[in-house]
Structure 1
Amino acid sequence: MKTHCQILAAGLLTLAMTTAYGCESKTKHNGPTLVAEAIGSEDKNANNTVKIALLLDTSNSMDGLINQAKAQLWDIVNEFTHAKCGNETRPKLEIALYQYGNDDLSAREGYIQQVLGFSSDLDEISEKLFSLTTNGGEEYCGEVIQTSLKQLDWGKNPDNLKMIFIAGNEPFDQGKLDFRDATSNAMEKDVVVNTIFCGNYEQGIKTHWKEGARSTGGEYMAIDHNRQVVHVDTPYDEVIIKLNSKLNKTYISYGTLGRSKMEMQVTQDANAMAMEEAVAVKRAVSKSSNLYKNSKWDLVDASEDAEFDVAQIEKEQLPTEIRNKSTEEIKSFIEKKKRERAAIQKEIKELNAQREAYIAKNQKEGSKGELENAMIQAIRKQAGRKNYQWD
């Protein structure tokens, strides 16, 4: 029915997280009236938000796709952290995940399931990717696009960049819903649809994948499924992994989410390590970035909010080690962990810079695969249009 798509997810996530930039420039604020002032206050405070919906085919032959999605997530997050808006701020990233074409899903729902609504929680995104399994089914591209448009909160802020990335290799026009109606609705919501066909480039064109993308100004790509991303082991990997364990100890859980989220953090570390040591290293690098924030359950990240007051947290919601301390003692404890975290993250970043230099020197030509090279070009091109710069 389908061929294995070993590197599809790398490209899918790369393009998704690194081409999807929407940000305001400094000059925009010089005008008399901002467009954002005409919309809700919730949108007004999120002018530099990127919203991405990943629609993944999870039928039988897509095991390669899912495995690559799990492995490549952290590569893409790390690439994305180098992006900076024209006003010198970092964008907020929100990702939603859908699966389609799986017999385990409801036929009444078109073999479609929302796995995750828009989320900026990187551990949660990883967890949901690892929860995916494959099984044969019917792939209705138009219907899954339409479903994501209806179910997700895309917002009305014109400054936000909103994108759909759909992957698969069956004809794009399958199902009762005409994909052209779905892409027309996407345009009305200012959502760009990008398509990745797992197979021959010309075959993807013949089966409407290119048409599905171009109708909204999106990108169409086809993948050579026989090429795999090769991870390069470096002398810095073991040290970074050890630093990641130390990094985890700087988190101070609170509230009802605290314990479960700390467990999730450790579980996703283990999932990355189970795939390959290099994947665990990349995840550790992501955890040292500005995109890995956990203010809903970690006191260190929560303390960055000017309105946060630790004195307002009930004692039973705090970890036992600080539960009986005074407010000032708790604040002092948080500051200590904050300094420790900053030092560990700085060391990870410095080691990663050396690691990347080592990889650049030792990586064989072409080992990244043709898709990754194409994605980098798309990243620079599309990010530039949205007033982004790169560190």
Structure 2
Amino acid sequence: MTLPLLLALPWLLLPVLAAAFVRRRPALEHWSAPPDAEAPRVSVIVPARNEALNIGQCVRALRASAHPRLEIIVVDDGSTDGTGDAARAAAEGDPRVRVLSGEPLPAGWFGKAWACEQGVRAARGELLAFADADVAAHPELVGRTVAALAERGAALLSAIPRQVLGGFWERVVMAQVGMLFLARYPDPERVNRSAGTRDKIALGGYILVRRDAYDATGGHRAVRHEVAEDMALAQRFHALGHPPLLVAAERFLSVRMYRSLAEIVDGWSKNLALSSRRTAPGPLAAVVPWLLLAGVFFFWLLPPLVLVRGALGMAGWPWVPAAAVAQAAGTAFWAAMYRRDGHNPAYALLVPVGALVMCGIVLRSVARGGRVRWKGREYAAMEPGTG
């Protein structure tokens, strides 16, 4: 059995590699909010297009914030589903909340960046926070991120949220997305320490910036043509000498990005290939999506395919026993991950299904090139490195 074990070694090493490299530091619980007398004014800007299902929860959670100097600006970006009315209803007359009707989208802008730009124009805070409509913020989120930004001397802070996986396809497919993120960014502190611009990332669910640095870098106007404007913003901040900070905030921020298979496929198809190219040095950027595809196929689809071929008499020693060991090790690894996140570990048996969908999403994203369709709009995205 020595040869099959050697062939299955990558799968057997998964728990070891995870224990060695995956870290959730710095964690937001390490900071406490500043005293009320020292609290800066924070303007939380929520760009929202057709988010009637989410915007109420988002606004109510922000209103419950313990931060004493807070304003909340919802920018209704041409919604057709009553998002603006839902936001006003959730505000319940709270004077800290303003709901703006967005202006028509100018040529050359992506909708989210344009909504954020309008929110900044109306904001009065010396700190600006950008929160997606599908997030739910803990009352201590804003205060703790303010403290972390100040203590670490950062100009931009991005918070890693807890992913809420409410339905079958979310648990089967979104877990694959999370695994890809962990493979590239296993330790936020390594991201923070890195001198490489392409190592920097921000997650659009919640970003806090110093306004002076935002203005100096050009803010969302400078990344208006980017489909992954959050990542582009962090990389621009770093390149211009304004350090970004990535923190783990699962206890203080949650997000439910998509609720159906169609939403998952459309959502990740729009930017997976383009944003992944921003994470690699220039010579490798073009092949990064293909490396993602190869990694997903190799780890999660190859073993069951070999086992099927073995059952049909088309494969034998040492491939079938190696595949059996690899499949068992991979399933045990995923079961532990699902259990850790509070889900039924039996979902580990469906990992090949999720991997197959993930491969389809990668191929669909690559095939789209710079053409992006999202929420009733079509865009021509700029390829990384061309602007």
TM-score range normalised by the length of the shorter chain: under 0.3
- Normalised by the length of structure 1, the TM-score is 0.22
